Chain A
Amino acid sequence: MSIRITDQPIVVPIYSSQEAIDGAVVDFLGVVRGTEIGEAITGIEYETFFEMAQHQLELLGKKYITQFGISGLDCIHRVGFVPIGEASLFVRVVAPHRKEAFDAMTGFIEELKQVVPIWKHPRIESANSL
């Protein structure tokens, strides 16, 4: 398991098999959209309580590895300013079969959005052009 919070652009790691039993690798990239609540934005400033976010992501990752039949989970969350079109979140789930991998991916991201102390501050385009 690898959990990382960074202020640098996310580079998707190359996958190399760790276990002979794994048949499914699901990657997810969350990307900043060009609008937020109907307004054009230039990007999103992600604020974090860094130490707690790292800790909570590690707890969540361990929970999914021990309880959801997956063999690996990697997560990178970008913080600071993320321009539109760039990824703020990367998650990779590795499992013996695709159902466990997709289910774990969905569940992990849903829970991440409820417990990991990160906050979004969209930068409105019109505010920048003044």
Chain B
Amino acid sequence: MTVTFRFFSVSRDLAGCSTFQLDIGQAKTVEDALAKLYEEKPDLQKLEMASMFAVGLDYATKAQPIKDGDEISIIPPVQGG
């Protein structure tokens, strides 16, 4: 199963790219997918506690199920306004 991670602001800086496609094997949840991501990009783990996560355009918990082709975004603390 393949998903695409999207990065913004400081998460993009740590990832070194804006998007990253990854085969996550049998991962079933956002949390499983993140574990696979951290194997490839360990620096992103520094943001784990401060970040929110989205699947598509909606925020997701780490327990949220995922499917092949999903886009998972790492959303560092937002600063709009």
Distance in angstroms between the alpha carbons of A119 and B17 in the assembled complex: 17
Q: Are A49 and B79 in contact (CB under 8 A)?
A: no
CB of B59, distance to nearest CB on chain A (Å)? 7
Q: Mark B40-55, 1 if CB is under 8 A from A, else 0.
A: 0000000000000010
Residues on the A chain within 8 Å of B54, using CB:
52, 117
Name which of B6, B58, B78 has the most chain A CB atoms within 10 A of its CB.
B78
The verdict on A114 contacting B78 (CB below 8 Å), with A52-B54, A52-B57 known, is yes
Q: Are B81 and A109 in contact (CB under 8 A)?
A: yes
Distance in angstroms between the alpha carbons of A120 and B81 in the assembled complex: 9
B9 CB–A CB distance under 8 Å: yes
Distance in angstroms between the alpha carbons of A121 and B10 in the assembled complex: 10
B69 CB–A CB distance under 8 Å: no
B75 CB–A CB distance under 8 Å: yes
Q: Are B80 and A116 in contact (CB under 8 A)?
A: yes
CB of A51, distance to nearest CB on chain B (Å)? 6
> Which of B's residues lie within 8 Å of A, judged by CB?
6, 8-9, 54, 57-59, 73, 75-76, 78-81
